[in-house]
C-alpha cells in the first residue's frame, strides 16, 4: 500500500471524502463525485481507484455538508483581518496550504445545510459541499511545485491529515450570519416532503406583479450565479409564503434563468437547483416576521389602491352589529352562537328549546337539523349560477367534542326534531367507502325486458340520503387508505358532481348524475382527531365542512319542556330544476368577492376557499327552515353568524392540535436533553481519563513536559473538546502517574 493510499484510507475512515486527481494537477476529479449533484465515495470506490492506479497522483477532498473551508489567497491580498474586525476572532483550527505566505484553507464545522457566500471578499472564497473541493496533502501544487500540508494552529505542528470533521472547531455564529448567502437566522434545508407541503400551501395571488422584481434582479445579476440563485430563491419563497404569487410560478422563473446562465450540464442536471429551493423554503418557513411584513406591505398597497373593502362575516361577539356599540366588556365564546341569533326567529328558538330540553348543545342540534333538512330537499332545487354554475345544496357538517361529549346524542335529538319518513330518502346510515355512498341510492328492481320476461336490474330508487359517522377518526383513516375513494367522493358529492362507478357490469353499475341526488353527511369528531380532517386542506375537504361544538354553556339548570317536532316544508320541485332566489345585495357581495379573487386582488385563507358557497348553502337551509325558498338579507346574516362560529370551532381544533404538537415536541426535547446530558457526562469522564493517560504516556516517553503547549499536543483533539486539561492533569496526579510542579509535568509510575 503506497503512502498516498494509506492517507486516503485513513481520511475516509475518519469521515472525509478523498478523490483522486492527476499527478501535479487540480483537475479533473472523477465524474459524479463533486458539486450539488455529486455522490460521496464509498470504500468500494476507494478500492476501485486503487486498482486503477489512481492514488499515485494528487488528492482532492470534497467537504461534508457540515464543514466549510475558508480559502484565503494572501498572495492576492487576502486576509481574514477585515472579516475578524466585523465578526470576531476565528478559533484556532487546522489549515491546508502549499505556501508560506499565509495563504491556505481554514476548516470549520457549521450547521448542516448552511450556505455561505461563494466569495466573501475578492481574495477569499468559501469551499462547501456543493461548491468546489480542496487539493490536499500529499499533493503537489501545479504552479509552485510545493507539497500541500496540514498545519495545526493549536500546536504549530505539521500534520499528515486533519482531525475528523466532528473534531473541527465551530465557525462562530456571527461569521455564519455575516457570510450567509441569506441574512438572518437560518434553518437546515427542508426535506422533500416539507418542500412539497410548502409549495402546495404557497399558492396565493394577492400581488402577482411582485414576481417581476425577481425577474428583473435575475436579468441583471452580477457575481456568483450560485449566490444569486440562493438569494433570489429565498426572496421569491418569502413572497410566495406571503401569498403574493404561487411558489410554482416563482420556481419556474428561477429554473428558466438557471438553465440559461449555467453552461455546465452537470450543474443543470444535478440537484444544485433543487438544493437551493429546499434551502429557500426552509428559510421562508423560519422567517415568519419578514413574511408577515410582506403581507402587511401588500395589504397597505391594496388599501390605498383597490376598490371595496370586504366586511367580515360577523362582528365580534361583544359588538352590536347595527350600531357598533360594545355591549359587554367580556367577549363571549365565539365557538357558540350568540343570544341574538337564537332570538331572531321562532324556528331557531324552537330548535334551541328542543336541544336544552334534552340537555344537549343547541349549536350541535341546529347543525344536525340543517343537515337533515338538506337531505329531504329535492335534488332539482339548487343555488343559481351567480358565480360559475348552479350549485347543489348537498351538505357536510361536523360536531366537535371531547370523548363522550354529546355528539351522537345531539344527532338523536335532531332525529326526533326533524324526522325523515320518506321512501325516497335513506336516513341515519354510515358512509362505508366512496363506492358505498353511491350504492345507498340503488336497489335491484324487477322490470320487463325486451323479450317480455322479467329481469333484475340495478336502478336508482332513492333521491336523498342523510349519513352519519360517529367517529371522525374513522373518516380520516378510511380516507387515508391507499386507493380509498371516500374523501374524493365526499368532495364531489358536496358539489353535486357525478359520482359512482361506470366501468362495471350491469349488476354493479352505479352512477349518480348531477342534480339527481341529495346527500347530507354529519360527522362526530373527538377534539384530538378533528385536526386530521383539517390536515386535508390541500385536498379541499375541510373547506366544505360547517363545524359546531357539542359544548353549550347556556343550557339552563332546569330543562325546558320538549317543544315537539318541526314541520319542515321543502321547496316544490319543478321540471328542469328549481333555483333558490337570492337577494340582489347578497348576489352583489358574493360576485364582488369572486371578482377580486379572480383578479388576484383578494386571497382568502386556504381553509376559507369555499366560504361564500358554504355560507349560501347554510343561508338556503336557514330559509327553508323558515318555510321559504328565497335567501334574504337576514338569512345571509344568520348564515354568516353560523359560519363565524364554525370558523371559531375550526380555530379551536387547530390551536389544540398545535399545543399538543408543541407539548409532544417539548417532551421529546426534554428526553433528548436528559439523554444528551448523561451522554456528555459519560463522554467527559472518558475524555478526562483518556487525556490523563495520554499526558502520562507522553511524559514517560520524553522524560518531562515543560510547557502548556507540549501538554496540549499530547492530548487527542477530541478529548480536548470534551474536557479541560486541568481536569486531566488532576486525574493523572491522583492516579500517581505524574507529578506537576508549576507548569512542568514529570513522570511517576507507569500508566496501567
Q: What is the pLDDT of residue 326?
A: 43
Which of 281, 305, 329 is the endpoint of a domain? 305
Helix axes 362-376, 611-625, angle to 10 degrees: 90
Task: With respect to residue 366, please indicate whether it lies within any of the assigned structural domains.
Answer: no
Q: How far apart are CA 401 and CA 525, in angstroms?
A: 6
In contact, 651 and 668? CB cutoff 8 Å: no
Domain boundary among 280, 305, 330: 305
Report for 88-97, 257-266, 462-471: range of highest mean pLDDT:
88-97
Q: What number is the average pLDDT over the span 715-741?
A: 85
Q: How far apart are CA 592 and CA 603, in angstroms?
A: 13
Statement to judge: residues 89 and 222 lie in one domain: no
280 and 155 within one domain: no
Determine which of 350-359, 369-378, 568-577 has the lowest per-residue pLDDT on average. Answer: 568-577
- Region of poorest pLDDT, from 193-207, 486-500, 518-532: 193-207
Highest mean pLDDT (candidates 3-17, 365-379, 567-581): 365-379
Whether 27 and 154 share a structural domain: yes
Are 363 and 546 in contact by the 8 Å Cβ rule? The answer is no
The mean per-residue pLDDT over the stretch 148-167 comes to: 87
Closest by Cα among 381, 393, 388 to 590: 388
158 and 216 in a single domain? The answer is no
- Please tell me whether residues 215 and 156 are part of one structural domain: no
For residues 163 and 104, state if they share a domain: yes
Query: Considering the domain boundaries, does residue 544 fall inside one?
Result: no
Spatial neighbors of 20 by CB under 8 A, at least 6 apart, are 29, 30, 49, 54, 55, 57, 58, 59, 60
- pLDDT, residue 573, reads 44
Q: Are residues 166 and 298 in the same domain?
A: no
Quote the Cα angle for 48-51-57, to 5°: 95
Please enumerate in sequence order all residues whose Cβ is within 8 A of that of 579, keeping only pairs 6 or more positions apart, or say none: 381, 382, 383, 384, 390
Q: Where are the beta strands (DSSP E) in 66-128?
A: 67-72, 94-97, 104-109, 124-127
- For residues 241 and 124, state if they share a domain: no
Domain annotation covers residue 516: no
Q: Average pLDDT, stretch 162-188?
A: 74
Residue that is last in its domain, among 179, 205, 221: 179
- Residue 499's pLDDT is what? 85
259 and 174, same structural domain?
no
Cα(614)–Cα(640) distance, integer angstroms: 10
Q: State pLDDT tens for residues 283-322.
A: 888 877 777 777 776 665 555 444 433 333 344 444 454 4
Helices (H), 703-747: 708-713, 717-722, 725-734
Rounded to whole angstroms, how far apart are CA atoms 402 and 437?
Answer: 27
Q: Global pTM?
A: 0.50
Domain count, the chain: 3
What does DSSP say about strands 104-109 and 67-72: parallel, antiparallel, or unpaired?
A: antiparallel
Question: Is residue 585 situated within a structural domain?
Answer: no
In terms of domains, do 169 and 230 share one?
no
What CATH number does the domain containing 698 carry?
Answer: 1.10.10
Query: Which residues constitute the domain of residue 213?
Result: 192-305
Over residues 327-356, mean pLDDT? 83
Specify burial of residue 152 (Cβ count, 10 A radius: 0-12, 13-18, 19+). Answer: middle
When mean pLDDT is compared across 8-12, 64-68, 461-465, the lowest value belongs to 64-68
| Among candidate residues 171, 368, 189, the one with its CA nearest the CA of residue 284 | 189
Nearest to 519 by CA among 426, 606, 634: 426
**Which among 523, 614, 548, 561 has a CA at the least distance from the CA of 365?**
548
284 & 175 share domain: no
Please indicate, yes or no, if residue 407 is contained in any of the structural domains: no
In a domain, residue 484? The reply is no
Cα separation, 368 vs 347, whole angstroms: 14
pLDDT tier, 451 (very low <50, low <70, confident <90, very high otherwise): confident
Question: Which residues fall within 8 angstroms of residue 308, CB to CB, at 6 or more apart?
Answer: 592, 596
Clarify whether residues 92 and 220 are in a common domain: no
Alpha helices in 541-610 (DSSP H): 584-598
pLDDT at 317: 46
The 10s digit of each residue's pLDDT in 410-442 is: 999 999 999 998 889 999 887 765 567 888 888
Amino acid at each position: 500500500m503506497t503512502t498516498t493510499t494509506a492517507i486516503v484510507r485513513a481520511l475516509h475512515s475518519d469521515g472525509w471524502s478523498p478523490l483522486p486527481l492527476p499527478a501535479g494537477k487540480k483537475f479533473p476529479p472523477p465524474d459524479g463525485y463533486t458539486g450539488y449533484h455529486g455522490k460521496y465515495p464509498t470504500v468500494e470506490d476507494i478500492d476501485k481507484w486503487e486498482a486503477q492506479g489512481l492514488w499515485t497522483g494528487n488528492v482532492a477532498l470534497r467537504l461534508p455538508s457540515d464543514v466549510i473551508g475558508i480559502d484565503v489567497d494572501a498572495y492576492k491580498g487576502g486576509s481574514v483581518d477585515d472579516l475578524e474586525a466585523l465578526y470576531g476572532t476565528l478559533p484556532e483550527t487546522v489549515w491546508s496550504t502549499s505556501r508560506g505566505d499565509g495563504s491556505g484553507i481554514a476548516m470549520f464545522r457549521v450547521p448542516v445545510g448552511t450556505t455561505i457566500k461563494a466569495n466573501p471578499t475578492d481574495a477569499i472564497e468559501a469551499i462547501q459541499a456543493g461548491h468546489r473541493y480542496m487539493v490536499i496533502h500529499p499533493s503537489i501544487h501545479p504552479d509552485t511545485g510545493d507539497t500541500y500540508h496540514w498545519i495545526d494552529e493549536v500546536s504549530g505542528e505539521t500534520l499528515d491529515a486533519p482531525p475528523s470533521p466532528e473534531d473541527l472547531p465551530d465557525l462562530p455564529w456571527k461569521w455564519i450570519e455575516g457570510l450567509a448567502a441569506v441574512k438572518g437566522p437560518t434553518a437546515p434545508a427542508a426535506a422533500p416532503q416539507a418542500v412539497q407541503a410548502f409549495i402546495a400551501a404557497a399558492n396565493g395571488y394577492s400581488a402577482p406583479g411582485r414576481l417581476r422584481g425577481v425577474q428583473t434582479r435575475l436579468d441583471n445579476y452580477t457575481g456568483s450565479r450560485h449566490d444569486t440563485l440562493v438569494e433570489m430563491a429565498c426572496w421569491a419563497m418569502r413572497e410566495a409564503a406571503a401569498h403574493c404569487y404561487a411558489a410554482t410560478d416563482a420556481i419556474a422563473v428561477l429554473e428558466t434563468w438557471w438553465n440559461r446562465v449555467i453552461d455546465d450540464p452537470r450543474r443543470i442536471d444535478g440537484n444544485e437547483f433543487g438544493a437551493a429551493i429546499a434551502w429557500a423554503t426552509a428559510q421562508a418557513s423560519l422567517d415568519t416576521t419578514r413574511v408577515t411584513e410582506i403581507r402587511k406591505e401588500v395589504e397597505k398597497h391594496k388599501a390605498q389602491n383597490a376598490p371595496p373593502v370586504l366586511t367580515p362575516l360577523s362582528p365580534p361577539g361583544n359588538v352590536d352589529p347595527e350600531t357598533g356599540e360594545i355591549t359587554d366588556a367580556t367577549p363571549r365564546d365565539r365557538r357558540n352562537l350568540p343570544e341574538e341569533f337564537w332570538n331572531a326567529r321562532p324556528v331557531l328558538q324552537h330548535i334551541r328549546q328542543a336541544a336544552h330540553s334534552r340537555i344537549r348543545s343547541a349549536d350541535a342540534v341546529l347543525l344536525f337539523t340543517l343537515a337533515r333538512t338538506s337531505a329531504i330537499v329535492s335534488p332539482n332545487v339548487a343555488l343559481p349560477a351567480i358565480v360559475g354554475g348552479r350549485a347543489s345544496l348537498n351538505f357536510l357538517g361536523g360536531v366537535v367534542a371531547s370523548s363522550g361529549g354529546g355528539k351522537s346524542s345531539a344527532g338523536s335529538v335532531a332525529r326526533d326534531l326533524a324526522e325523515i319518513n320518506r321512501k325516497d330518502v335513506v336516513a341515519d346510515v354510515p358512509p362505508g367507502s366512496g363506492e358505498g355512498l353511491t350504492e345507498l341510492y340503488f336497489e335491484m328492481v324487477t322490470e320487463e325486458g325486451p323479450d317480455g320476461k322479467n329481469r333484475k336490474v340495478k336502478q336508482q330508487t332513492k333521491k336523498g340520503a342523510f349519513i352519519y359517522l360517529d367517529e371522525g377518526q374513522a373518516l380520516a383513516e378510511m380516507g387515508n387508505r391507499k386507493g380509498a375513494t371516500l374523501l374524493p367522493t365526499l368532495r364531489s358529492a358536496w358539489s353535486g358532481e357525478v359520482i359512482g362507478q361506470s366501468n362495471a357490469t350491469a349488476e354493479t353499475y352505479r352512477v349518480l348524475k348531477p342534480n339527481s341526488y341529495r346527500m347530507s353527511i354529519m360527522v362526530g369528531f373527538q377534539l384530538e382527531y378533528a385536526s386530521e380532517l383539517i390536515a386535508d386542506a390541500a385536498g379541499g375537504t375541510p373547506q366544505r365542512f360547517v363545524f359546531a361544538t357539542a359544548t353549550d354553556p347556556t343550557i339552563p339548570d332546569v330543562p325546558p319542556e320538549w317543544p315537539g317536532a318541526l314541520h319542515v316544508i321543502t321547496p316544490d320541485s319543478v321540471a328542469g330544476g328549481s333555483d333558490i332566489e337570492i337577494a340582489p345585495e347578497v348576489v352583489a357581495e358574493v360576485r364582488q368577492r369572486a371578482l377580486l379573487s379572480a383578479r388576484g386582488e383578494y386571497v382568502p385563507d386556504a381553509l376559507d376557499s369555499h366560504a361564500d358557497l358554504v355560507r349560501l348553502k347554510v343561508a338556503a337551509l336557514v330559509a327553508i327552515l323558515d318555510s321559504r325558498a328565497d335567501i334574504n338579507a337576514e338569512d345571509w346574516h344568520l348564515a354568516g353568524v353560523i359560519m363565524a362560529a364554525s370558523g371559531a370551532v375550526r380555530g379551536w381544533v387547530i390551536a389544540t392540535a398545535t399545543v399538543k404538537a408543541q407539548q409532544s415536541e417539548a417532551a421529546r426535547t426534554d428526553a433528548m436533553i436528559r439523554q444528551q446530558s448523561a451522554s456528555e457526562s459519560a463522554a467527559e469522564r472518558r475524555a478526562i481519563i483518556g487525556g490523563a493517560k495520554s499526558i502520562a504516556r507522553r511524559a514517560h516517553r520524553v522524560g518531562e513536559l515543560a510547557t502548556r503547549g507540549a501538554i496540549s499536543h499530547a492530548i487527542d483533539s477530541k478529548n480536548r473538546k470534551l474536557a479541560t486539561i486541568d481536569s486531566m492533569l488532576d486525574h493523572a496526579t491522583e492516579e500517581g502517574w505524574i507529578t506537576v510542579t508549576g507548569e512542568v509535568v514529570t513522570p511517576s509510575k507507569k500508566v496501567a
